[in-house]
Amino acid sequence: MAAVASLLDAQPGVGRTHFPAKAKNVIFLFMGGGPSHVDLFDPKPILRHRHGEEMPPSILGTQRVTLMTRNQGHFKTASTPFRFRKVGQAGHDMSDLWVHLPQVADELTFIRSLHTEPINHDPAVTLMQTGRPESGLPAMGSWLSYGLGSENRDLPAYIVMMSGTFDQPITTRYFHSGFLPSQHQGVHFQAAGDPVFYLSNPAGIAPAARGEIVAGINDLNRLRHAQVHDPEIETRINAFELAFRMQTSVPELMNIRDETQATLDRYGPDVNNPSTFARQALLARRLVERGVRFVQLFHRGWDAHSSVIAHTRRQVRDVDQPIAALIRDLKTRGLLDSTLVIWGGEFGRTAYGQGDLSGEFGRDHHPRCFTCFLAGGGIKPGVVLGATDEFGYNIVGPKIHVNDLHATILHLLGIDHLRLTYRHAGRDFRLTDVAGEVVPEVLA
């Protein structure tokens, strides 16, 4: 693999890396809609004991709630039907929904004291993606593409895929490059049709014919360059050559026929369906294998305003086996050391129920605390950082803000988050806005 791109040199204030990197690539498993931490990783027995009782005012405090629960007139504690157990050497807490993940428990490190400000999806996802709740700023993957470039000349540095049940829209803005040059925007690889828009030649134009046409375009462009000397023409010539090469490299990447049956089995039967999380987890591995800097899988469907039990069960069924398989797969191939894997959503869910607690109740948005886990490059495995109160409603002790998580991710990639900046609208912007501190407890 070639060295980190010298594109860095083009950026003022950006070195190759600021210090030696622990990880080269990131796979961010984004759980869109907000997974319920109290049903998954943060056990709170009191929810069972107090089911149906009003939450104590001392716990509720004066925090903002959404209009949906503000208008329902009660904040009743809601039980979880799932049993928790300790798994792995580290003794991580996982609810019994997780069947496969415990197998890789010792690779994982949990942060239970993550928090954010927005209480609605759009600004909360925007904050997790860009460091601020307002739209228009570059996504984390775009920052990394800008700062570190790509290690594969035939693929973009930031690739996004989507799966899951529709609840909240995943808009282009979430993986846009904002004010950074637009080549850093996330490229959405589609599950169906052309993985990259317009990758396939039109019906009737064979690959070899396309090669001849592109050669003709470039021949004429070289002649023009000789006359007008505009260096941008050389850029265009390169772009057309790369486009032509991508027509081979991308289908090759998306084609999983060369995977062994054992590998496919490890990801589970869903892997045969291109629009599933399982398939995309496998593709994520293939992408980092090829040097793609930042792969982000959006798995939607966690927004359980009703039927939180059924929702969560369905969602875990989608992701459990593929995540375990991905981490083992990376490990087996020696890629886990250089790949940072992140699991998490835009916020957590409330300890109180939404709707009638005797029926199919749900849980509302909860930005005050939520859980994420990390694995791989530069992460100290087995840590459980931070704690929440007995209801899983407030953080007890030190808090980790999303900006801190971002600072830590950049740190693992060899970047000082204070020094990866871009001048826009008269000031230097960075992913962590005006905040963010590296979280040393999770570093190896």
Interface of this chain with another protein, residues 391 to 420, rule: CB under 8 A = 418-419
Binding-site residue total for another protein (CB under 8 A)? Answer: 104
Q: Segment 110-139, which members bind another protein (CB under 8 A)? A: 119-122, 135-136
Tell whether residue 18 is a contact of another protein (CB under 8 A).
no
What is the DSSP secondary structure assignment for residue 61, as one 8-state letter?
T
Q: How far is the CB of 339 from another protein (least distance, A)?
A: 18
321-360 residues near another protein, rule: CB under 8 A: none
Nearer to another protein, 84 or 294 (CB): 294
Distance CA 263, CA 113 (A): 35
- The amino acid at residue 206 is A
Determine if 368 is a binding residue for another protein (CB under 8 A): no
CA distances to 36, 39, 100, 278, 355 from 318, rounded to whole Å, are: 15, 16, 11, 7, 26
CB of 232 to another protein, least distance (A): 6
Residues of this chain, 172-201, that bind another protein according to CB under 8 A: 172-173, 176, 181-183, 185, 187, 190-194, 196-201
Name which of 59 and 435 has its Cβ closer to another protein: 435
Give yes or no for residue 171 binding another protein (CB under 8 A).
yes
Binding to another protein by CB under 8 A, coded x per residue (else -) over 241-260, reads -xx--x--------------
**Backbone φ, ψ for residue 102 (5° rounding):** -55, -25
Of the pair 238, 332, the CB lying nearest another protein is at 238
**17 binding another protein? (CB under 8 A):** no
Q: Does 72 bind another protein (CB under 8 A)?
A: no
Residue 435, classed as helix, strand or coil, is coil
The angle formed by the CA atoms of residues 331, 275 and 325, to the nearest 5 degrees, is 20
Closest distance of CB 367 from another protein, Å: 12
Could you tell me the smallest distance in angstroms from the CB atom of residue 238 to another protein?
Answer: 6
Q: Does 75 bind another protein (CB under 8 A)?
A: no
Please say which residue, 277 or 393, places its beta carbon nearer to another protein: 277
What's the rounded Cα separation, in Å, for the pair 85 and 90? Answer: 12
DSSP of 175-221: G--TTS-GGGSPEE--SSS-SSTT-SPPTT--HHHHHHHHHHHHHHH
Q: Check residue 444 for interaction with another protein (CB under 8 A).
A: no
The residues that bridge with 407 in the sheet, in sequence order, are: none
User: What's the rounded Cα separation, in Å, for the pair 195 and 200?
Assistant: 9
Q: Distance (Å, rounded) from C-alpha 2 to C-alpha 25?
A: 14
- Is 321 exposed, middle or buried (CB count within 10 Å of its CB: 0-12, 13-18, 19+)? buried
Q: Specify the DSSP element, H or E, that contains 428.
A: strand 427-429
Question: Can you tell me the distance from the alpha carbon of 261 to that of 314, in angstroms, rounded to the nearest whole number?
Answer: 25
Q: Provide, rounded to whole angstroms, the least separation between the CB of residue 428 and another protein.
A: 9
Q: How far is the CB of 19 from another protein (least distance, A)?
A: 15
The least distance separating another protein from the CB of residue 379, rounded to whole angstroms, comes to: 26
Identity of the residue, 93 or 151, whose beta carbon is nearer to another protein in the bound complex: 151
Task: Work out whether strand 294-300 and strand 25-31 pair parallel, antiparallel, or are unpaired.
Answer: parallel
63 binds another protein, rule: CB under 8 A: no
- Nearest approach, Cβ of residue 371 and another protein (Å): 22
The span of 23-31, 86-94, 204-212, 394-402 binding another protein (CB under 8 A) equals 204-212
Q: Residue 94 phi/psi, 5° resolution?
A: -140, 145
State the CB neighbour count (10 A cutoff) for residue 359. 9
Q: How far is the CB of 314 from another protein (least distance, A)?
A: 17
Among 35, 138, 291, 436, binds another protein (CB under 8 A): 291
13 contacts another protein (rule: CB under 8 A): yes
Closest to another protein by CB, 69 vs 95, is: 69
* Contact between 155 and another protein per CB under 8 A: yes
The C-alpha angle with vertex 312 and arms to 306 and 316, in degrees rounded to 5, equals 160
Residue with smaller CB distance to another protein, 92 or 121: 121
Among candidate residues 180, 126, 189, 173, the one with its CA nearest the CA of residue 149: 180
99 or 239: CB nearest another protein = 239
